[in-house]
Structure formats: C-alpha cells, structure tokens
Chains A and B, each alone.
Chain A
C-alpha cells in the first residue's frame, strides 16, 4: 500500500536530497525533489504528496515558511522537518528527522504516513 505514497523532498543540498530519495524509494515511495521552497511551491500546485520532508535552511523562502504554507494548502500531508539545527528550533510538524538521520527513522515515518492514508 505504501507504493501509492508520494513524497516531496525539499533540500538545497543535492547529497542530502539524493540520500532522502534513496531511503524513501527503499521504503517504497515515489519521490519528487525540489531544491528551493519556491520550486516546491510550484510543484505543490500540481501534486498532492502524502509526505513532505522539508529542510529548514533554504535559500530564499525559508523551510519554516514553506512548512506553514504546506500545512495550509495540504493539511492531509504528513509534514516532516529535517535539519541539522537543534530540534528545539523546529516549527510545529507531524514528525522530526534531525540530521544525521538513519534509514530506520525514515522507515518509521513512512509507516506513520501509510497508517494515515
């Protein structure tokens, strides 16, 4: 059933985005990647992701602002914050994924999203 899940990854670091894509795909998700919040907002007009993994430090619009908008426009989407920043500085979200994360942590989150759906 998780094969149906669509995940949006927003991270300005290509290495991190690729890493997230790999793990998400291993967990059975389809993955869309955006390197900026602006690009993510464009993509979000056309897709309805089940999971959004958002990095906080982004050029232009910040990850925090983006998370807020996703919360408004896609309330059904499981919002995940992933950052190297201290977890105490994360905005309100459904799940957190402090970097460096492990594959196991990400697998749990995907399970959580699947349970929702």
Chain B
C-alpha cells in the first residue's frame, strides 16, 4: 500500500492542524492593522488619547515579536506560549481605551486572543480570561471612573459574556481534543492492524513458497522413482496414487481413476493364498483379502511388512518382487491408508540362480578330477600284486593329504554358497552327542600328537541324547578342534568338554594357544575373515571354517560364543538347544 503524494490542500491543512504561535497571532495583528487603518482614515474615528492607543499597538507588536521567536525556535514552551494572547488582551484593552474607551468600535477585537487562551486545555484558563478581560475593559475607566449605572454594568457584564464565550470555547476545545485523541488512537490501532496484516501476508507468502518448493521436490522425487513401484491405497486397498515405477513394473498406464481399482488386482491368486497362510481369519464382510488385511495389520503395528512374492502385471504375466507395506498417516498420525513399495527381483533371482549354478558346476568340475586323483592314489598304494617301497608310500601320502585338503576346501566353498542362498540340507535325528564329540577329538588326535599338543576330552558319563544333524555338527566340531590344534604351540593343551545347563548342551573347545585380538572377536565368524594371529603365524586356511560352524549351529537354533586372551588362549562355546 503506497501513500498518495500530499496535495496543496494537505499542506494547507497541515499548517492549520498544528498552527504555530505566529499563525495564531496573525488574525489579531491583521485585524488590529485594519482597525488602525480605519481609525486613521475614517473621520468619525480618532485616536483619543493617542498615546494609550500607541501603547496598545506596541504591546501587540511585542507579543507578535514573541510569537515570531517561538515559531522560529520551534521549541515547545508549553503554556508559556499563552503569554502572547495575554499580552494581546492587554494591548487590545489599551487600544480600545485609546480609540474611544467604552465607546470604541474595537472592543470585539479582544475576542481573538480570548479564543486562543480559552482553547488551551484546563478550566483555569477560563478564569484567567475572565480576569484579563475585566482588566482590559476597565482600562478606560482608570482615567475617567464610571459615572452612570449603565457604565458599571458594562464593566461587569462584558467580562462575564466574554468569560462565558471562553468557557464554551474551552469546553468545545476539550470535546474536540478528546475526539481527536480517540480518532488518533483508532487510527494508530488501524495502522497497527494493517501492519500486522501485512506481516501475516508476507509470512503466508514465504510459507506458500516453501510448500511449493516441497511439493516440487516431492513431485520430482516421485517421478524419478522409476526403479521402485510405489502405490498408495486407502484403508481398504483402493488405489489412490500410482508412480511411474509402478507403471514400469506392472504395465498399467497412469491410474487416474482414483478409488476405482483395488490393489488385489495386481496379485496372482497364489500370492494372495500364500499371504493368507497362517493368518488369523478376518471379518467375513471385509472387502480385502485375508492375506492383505494381515499385512496391513502388521504395518499398523509400526514395523513395515516385508514379503517376497509375485505380483501380477496388467498383461497377465507375473513378476517376482520384494514388497514392503507401510501405513500412510495424516498430519495427526491417524492411519489413512497404505503404501506399497515393490522392487523387481527378477534380476536378483536370476543372479542368485546363476551363482548357484556356477558354484554347483565349479564344485562338480573340481571334485571329479580330485576323486580320480584320490582313487588312483589308493589303487596304486593298495595293489597287492605290486607292493610299494616305504618312500613311495610316503610320497603318495603327501599327494593324498594335499588332494584331501583341496577337496575339503571345495566342500567348504560349496557349503558356504548353500548357506548364503539359505538352502543347505539338515538331516536332524535323535542322536547321542557324546560319540560325535569323541569322534571329532579322535580325528584331530594324529595331528595334535604330531604337533606335540595334549588333546583332552572331558565327556559326561551319562549319554546326552538330543535332536541334531550328526554329520553337520561333526563337521562344525571338526572345525573348532582342528582350529584349536592349529593355533596352539607345541606343549600346549586343547580341552574339549560338554556342559549341560538346563535345556541346553554346551560344547566347549578350549586351547592354550596364541589367542585372538579383542577387536577381531566380533568379525571372527565372517566369511573369509582371518585373524591377524593366523596370518602373522602363517597358519594355513582361507577363513571359512568358523563361518560354516556358525551357520551349522544357527541352523540348529543354537549360538556360537567366544572368549579369548592374546598369549593365553581361546575358548569357543557351541550352545545347542535340547528338547
């Protein structure tokens, strides 16, 4: 809002709205000048006595000079400015006395300063006016005291009338001032309100811009999300929003028929059945399928519901996806629907399949020649018709040992790959744990003996019967025991024991070996991780044994635990649930 340029009238009013002492004095001076002019020119009028009239003119001129000073100085002198009209009154009183006294034409002039004084705030000015009027009007009678009763009345009545005028002016001024003050207060309020409004408008514009920016950002993110299908639904699965990624994945053009298509349309019956499996039944009048309602319920609990399943394209084909369902909420946090985010898993599944095939092929291609090497070594060694010399047998033993080492490595790699893809078979049966542990100790005995390490088995007398895969657990124990032997220097001890806290069987493998650095303990079970003590001491291995051991134990619902002190020894604990 712009203010208009002030016009000539505005400038004029500005002078009158807040008049300077000189402006207020001007009428008195002008009228007095006219009176002097009239008296000098009209024969009937005359200055009598001349000196008194002159004194009056001089007093008014002094007052005017004072008005000029006050006006020029522009200082607020408060009530002192009223000295000017007071002097005027006296001056005009003298002028009246010098132009005929009571008979003078110019008694009315005195009203001008009276109005000025009377307009000042406060009733006391009315009284001052009364006093001054009386003084001014009584001047002529100082030289010639009143002689008649009418002249006495004039001395009394004229000041009274003038005082009443002054009182009226005083009151009108007061009222005017009050109204002006009110009006000014109102104007100030309005101005403030206007300013507030302007500020609010500016704030609104700023936040509108911010929301526009956010909206643009959201829109660009939404449109850029082409690798993930994002579909928003209401609480009953009616589609309300559909992103370009959803079009790319599921083939439907932009679904703008809001609330017309149900999300179920994009799932094959088999996927819906799979979702419903094991889910609690839903209300019979529920428009949504049981499986999806179940996913919605999971999402409502706060955690995103994640499933790997197939979705149905518009053209009738299916696509494997990883689907995440989260609850959509309004600003107040109340659920208003659901967000489906689907990622195409076709490529990932293909890669996993190729990896499995590759691992299977490699494993087959490596094992076949190794089988021949081992088989023919045995054939050579055990030929009853051509017995070998001790040296030849020794050479063959080396060849066989190395071939077996390669074979184990191939087996471990294959097993790790199977663990990765979550598909290694467990043949769980009711067996005794003791003999499995004993067998692991026994198979490590020759190596331990050759390395000068004492290998002790502390097994309970009573049989420990439990459900497990004896081959896999044996493999896991072999890893632990052979590790312990590998990492223990000559003269050390490896102790294998079974503990039986309630509901659990704990197999401990404790050594007096070189130990493991504390910062490496948590990475110990990671595939291909090798402890620095292993690499430093050139202990052979590729870092698969503990990874496999942990996978086997985990598959049995158990846990692996380790504590170690460098230079003192290490203890591995295999905790298996019983019953």
A: which residues have CB within 8 A of B?
A: 13, 15-16, 19, 22-23, 57, 84-86, 88, 99-103
A16 to B382, CA, bound (A): 17
Structural contact, B368 and A16, CB atoms closer than 8 A: yes
A23 to B427, CA, bound (A): 30
A sample of 14 inter-chain contacts (CB < 8 A) reads A16-B368, A16-B372, A19-B379, A22-B379, A84-B364, A88-B425, A99-B368, A99-B371, A99-B375, A100-B367, A100-B370, A100-B375, A101-B375, A102-B378
Cross-chain contact of A84 among B363, B378, B427 (Cβ < 8 A): B363
What distance in Å separates the Cβ of A25 from its nearest Cβ neighbour in chain B?
11
Structural contact, A100 and B407, CB atoms closer than 8 A: yes
Q: Which residue of B lies closest to A19 (CB)?
A: B375
Structural contact, A84 and B367, CB atoms closer than 8 A: yes
Cross-chain contact of A88 among B371, B374, B414, B427 (Cβ < 8 A): B427
Instruction: Note all chain A residues with C-beta closer than 8 A to B374.
Output: 100
Interface size on B, residues (CB 8 A): 17
What distance in Å separates the Cβ of B215 from its nearest Cβ neighbour in chain A?
57
Structural contact, A57 and B375, CB atoms closer than 8 A: no
Is the CB of B13 closer than 8 A to any CB of chain A? no
Structural contact, A84 and B379, CB atoms closer than 8 A: no
What distance in Å separates the Cβ of B165 from its nearest Cβ neighbour in chain A?
126
Structural contact, B368 and A13, CB atoms closer than 8 A: yes
Q: Which residue of A lies closest to B411 (CB)?
A: A86
What distance in Å separates the Cβ of B408 from its nearest Cβ neighbour in chain A?
11
Could you tell me which residues of chain B, from 328 to 376, have a CB within 8 Å of some CB in chain A?
Answer: 363-364, 367-368, 370-372, 374-376
Cross-chain contact of A16 among B363, B371, B378, B414 (Cβ < 8 A): B371
A106 to B89, CA, bound (A): 150
A99 to B368, CA, bound (A): 8
What distance in Å separates the Cβ of B513 from its nearest Cβ neighbour in chain A?
32
Structural contact, A100 and B379, CB atoms closer than 8 A: no
Q: Which residue of A lies closest to B369 (CB)?
A: A15
Cross-chain contact of B375 among A16, A85, A86, A88 (Cβ < 8 A): A16
Q: Which residue of A lies closest to B415 (CB)?
A: A86
A-B pairs with lowest CB-CB distance, top 5 = A84-B367, A100-B371, A99-B371, A100-B374, A88-B425
Instruction: Note all chain B residues with C-beta closer than 8 A to A101.
Output: 371, 375
Instruction: Note all chain A residues with C-beta closer than 8 A to B425.
Output: 86, 88
B: which residues have CB within 8 A of A?
A: 363-364, 367-368, 370-372, 374-376, 378-379, 382, 407, 414, 425, 427
What distance in Å separates the Cβ of B412 from its nearest Cβ neighbour in chain A?
13
Given contacts A86-B414, A99-B375, 5 further A-B contacts (CB under 8 A): A19-B376, A22-B379, A86-B425, A100-B371, A101-B371
Structural contact, A103 and B379, CB atoms closer than 8 A: yes
Instruction: Note all chain B residues with C-beta closer than 8 A to A99.
Output: 367-368, 371, 375
Instruction: Note all chain B residues with C-beta closer than 8 A to A23.
Output: 379
Q: Which residue of A lies closest to B365 (CB)?
A: A84
A3 to B379, CA, bound (A): 20
Q: Which residue of A lies closest to B360 (CB)?
A: A85
Instruction: Note all chain A residues with C-beta closer than 8 A to B372.
Output: 13, 15-16, 19
Q: Which residue of A lies closest to B410 (CB)?
A: A84
Instruction: Note all chain A residues with C-beta closer than 8 A to B375.
Output: 16, 19, 99-101
Structural contact, B363 and A103, CB atoms closer than 8 A: no
A103 to B376, CA, bound (A): 10
What distance in Å separates the Cβ of B374 from its nearest Cβ neighbour in chain A?
4
What distance in Å separates the Cβ of B567 from its nearest Cβ neighbour in chain A?
40
What distance in Å separates the Cβ of B63 from its nearest Cβ neighbour in chain A?
127
A102 to B381, CA, bound (A): 12
With contact pairs A57-B364, A84-B364, A88-B425 given, residues A103 and B371 touching in the complex (Cβ less than 8 Å): no
A83 to B371, CA, bound (A): 10
Structural contact, B368 and A84, CB atoms closer than 8 A: yes
Q: Which residue of B lies closest to A23 (CB)?
A: B379
Q: Which residue of B lies closest to A55 (CB)?
A: B368
Instruction: Note all chain B residues with C-beta closer than 8 A to A103.
Output: 378-379, 382
Instruction: Note all chain A residues with C-beta closer than 8 A to B370.
Output: 100
Instruction: Note all chain B residues with C-beta closer than 8 A to A88.
Output: 425, 427
Cross-chain contact of B364 among A19, A85, A102 (Cβ < 8 A): A85
Q: Which residue of B lies closest to A14 (CB)?
A: B372
What distance in Å separates the Cβ of A63 from its nearest Cβ neighbour in chain B?
13
A22 to B375, CA, bound (A): 10
A84 to B382, CA, bound (A): 23
What distance in Å separates the Cβ of B402 from its nearest Cβ neighbour in chain A?
13
A40 to B267, CA, bound (A): 48
Instruction: Note all chain B residues with C-beta closer than 8 A to A84.
Output: 363-364, 367-368, 371
Instruction: Note all chain A residues with C-beta closer than 8 A to B407.
Output: 100
